[in-house]
Amino acid sequence: MEISTLTVYHCLAFAWYLFVNYSVKHLRTENRPSGLFVYGGRWKYLTILNLVLQTVFYGVSFLADVLRLTKKLRSAKCVISTRDLLFSVLAFPVSTFVFLSFWGLYTYDRELVYPERVDGLIPHWLNHAMHTTILPFAFLEIFATPHRYPTKKKGLILVGFVHLLYISWILWIYSVTGEWVYPVFGVFSPVGLAAFFAGCLAVTVCCYSFGAFLNRMIW
């Protein structure tokens, strides 16, 4: 994809995620279900964290394109390195994991991840913006431009570290409120929950490895 076209694409994607984040922030709260957005606010949900992550990634990508267009190559090189690390370790695997885990659990039993009472708060289009369109954006990015991935060892360590951070955040919220961020966690015993978290890590690692594989095959 030519740099001018890529710049327009990244600008539009950045604007889209800004709009989605704005829409989430300004949801009507008068009919908010009890326990939703209380301790930890929106920041306890991986979906919301992913939206912010995607916004940052496309903002950095847009900046890198502008620097390349204006021939500021030294600055562009640093920004591109940041862009590639964000995409490889966070933007692609997290968005893919959110899509797979949300729709997988939703299909099995939506009450485990997205209770029916939430429909009165979050419009259907916004639900798909948060959980569906993130996957096409992630794949389109791989086809649009090459990304330099870190070494396999470094990449897996970073993915595991981010996963551990979010699990620690979930457990901290439970220790304070006595309620799980997602209802699905409540159906497991402590051993079962540990196995579930390990399974989630395995899926995330697979998402990371798949992104690396696609990037290598295409570019």
DSSP 119-130: GGTS-HHHHHHH
Residue (of 12, 90, 86, 100) closest to 50 by Cα position: 90
In a domain, 30, yes or no: no
Amino acid code (one letter) for 201:
L
Give me the number of domains the chain comprises: 1
Within 13 Å of residue 197, how many CA atoms lie on the same side as its CB?
Answer: 21
In a domain, 213, yes or no: yes
Does residue 26 contact residue 85 with C-beta atoms inside 8 Å?
A: no
In a domain, 29, yes or no: no
In a domain, 95, yes or no: yes
Q: 63 lies in which domain range? A: 3-23+39-218
Amino acid code (one letter) for 160:
G
What value does the mean pLDDT take over residues 151-155?
93
Is the confidence at residue 113, as pLDDT, over 60?
yes
Is the confidence at residue 44, as pLDDT, over 70?
yes
pTM of the predicted protein model: 0.91
In a domain, 31, yes or no: no
